[in-house]
Structure 1
Amino acid sequence: MLTGELVRLRALEPSDAESLYRWVHDDEVGQWMNNDHPLSLDQLRKRGEDRKTNTYGLVVLGIEAVADDKLIGVIDLRDARPEEGRAELDIYLGEKDYWDGGYGTEALKLMCRYGFNVMRLHLIALWVVAENERARHVYRKVGFVEDGRHRECFRGNDGKYHDMYLMSLLEGELKD
């Protein structure tokens, strides 16, 4: 486990399916997420039971609040290849009561440190919808910079297309 003052990152358990189900069915939580086709709670439980072991190419961790041991979100590093030294990051906090207070910022820092120190990555990249200013603020705060803009490439829950920013963080740029 990776532990900070506010959060710990841990492997997901099949019992986490109830939280995941609630989050993906919450329009506010899922506003800027690409979701699969709708899944039942039983299908999410099965997915959790069949989840493959974390590997270099895909590390998926639950974000748990230290104070109450409550699962509040998910973070991952994916598409990592040692010969390239880069990976893409995804994060979301499903528990809206934890959207403020530094939980996402600390989870992001813990995962980036893991990527740079343990996985020996040189670059971590992510995509964020242009209108998701809350997330963009957190990414900039920890050191991510905007590399480019991809026009109208994300179709939101509102049925409209939105621009997305590609952001990246190089080894050594993570802000404390």
Structure 2
Amino acid sequence: MDEDDTEAHWRWKHDPDVMRWMDNGYPMTLAQFRAYKAEFPAASYAQIVFGIETLADERLIGLVRLTTDGPEAGGAELDIYIGEKDCWGKGYGTEATRLMCRYGFDTMRLHRVMLWVADANTAAIRAYRKAGFTEEGRARDTVRDGGVWHDSILMGMLEGELR
């Protein structure tokens, strides 16, 4: 992702539908968000972020990130969202998940990729399972949506389990 992508990223972070299941922090003006992004560390082994684009028109529709404690850890945490709502349910999230996991296993030499997902976020859980993730654990009442608390499910994938 580069500076040209900042406005779309800011717009997604301020859309309650897009951020429904995400920890979004506090609202920022576009200027504040630009300043925050300018101070963001460059891509490294500790954190790599890619934009998700459509093949047909190369439109930015979301982002995907792997975060790790370092190469010796052998594992990373995946975060992903599709910010353009007209692209929901079309397989972009599943494909981006697969590609990022492949990048993690092949390029970053990871052994394990994990993620957290709200138990009520059934579309995301379905996409993660299609890619090869399995449920490994659960943290009770960690995500609040409209006054209702939901569990967070820990899902993981080992190298060789990617589908």
Q: TM-score, normalised by structure 1?
A: 0.88
Match of residue 160, structure 1, among 128, 136, 148: 148
Match of residue 150, structure 1, among 125, 128, 139: 139
- Residues 105-162 of structure 1, C-alpha deviations (whole Å, 9 max, x = no match): 1111110000000000000000000000000000000100000111001233x13321
- How many residue pairs were aligned? 163
Asked whether 1:93 is paired with 2:82, we answer yes
- 1:169 paired residue number: 157
Question: For residues 66 and 46 of structure 1, what CA distance do their matches in structure 2 show?
Answer: 30
Give, as a single letter, the amino acid of the residue that structure 2 aligns with 1:43: Q
Match of residue 50, structure 2, among 49, 61, 64: 61
Task: Compare relative contact order (CA 8 Å, sep 6+) and give the higher one, 1 or 2.
Answer: 1
Partners of 1:129 and 1:163 within 8 A in 2: yes
Query: Secondary structure in 2 aligned to 1:61?
Result: strand
How big is the shift at 1:20? 1.4
Question: For residues 49 and 84 of structure 1, what CA distance do their matches in structure 2 show?
Answer: 28
Give, as a single letter, the amino acid of the residue that structure 2 aligns with 1:133: T
Query: Secondary structure in 2 aligned to 1:167?
Result: strand
Structure 1 range deviating more: 147-156 or 129-138: 147-156
- Residues 12-32 of structure 1, C-alpha deviations (whole Å, 9 max, x = no match): 111212111221221111110
- 1:42 paired residue number: 31
Asked whether 1:141 is paired with 2:138, we answer no
Q: What aligned pairs does 1:20-35 form with structure 2 within 5 A after superposition?
A: 20-35=9-24
Partners of 1:80 and 1:88 within 8 A in 2: no
Question: For residues 103 and 69 of structure 2, what CA distance do their matches in structure 1 show?
Answer: 13
For structure 2, which runs of at least 5 residues remain unmatched after alignment? none
Give, as a single letter, the amino acid of the residue that structure 2 aligns with 1:37: Y
- 1:4 paired residue number: none
Question: For residues 100 and 117 of structure 2, what CA distance do their matches in structure 1 show?
Answer: 17
How big is the shift at 1:47? 2.4
Give, as a single letter, the amino acid of the residue that structure 1 aligns with 2:148: K
Deviation >4 Å, runs of 4+: none
Aligned residues with identical type, % of pairs: 50
Partners of 1:73 and 1:93 within 8 A in 2: yes
RMSD: 1.2
Give, as a single letter, the amino acid of the residue that structure 2 aligns with 1:116: F
Query: Secondary structure in 2 aligned to 1:162?
Result: strand
How big is the shift at 1:49? 2.7
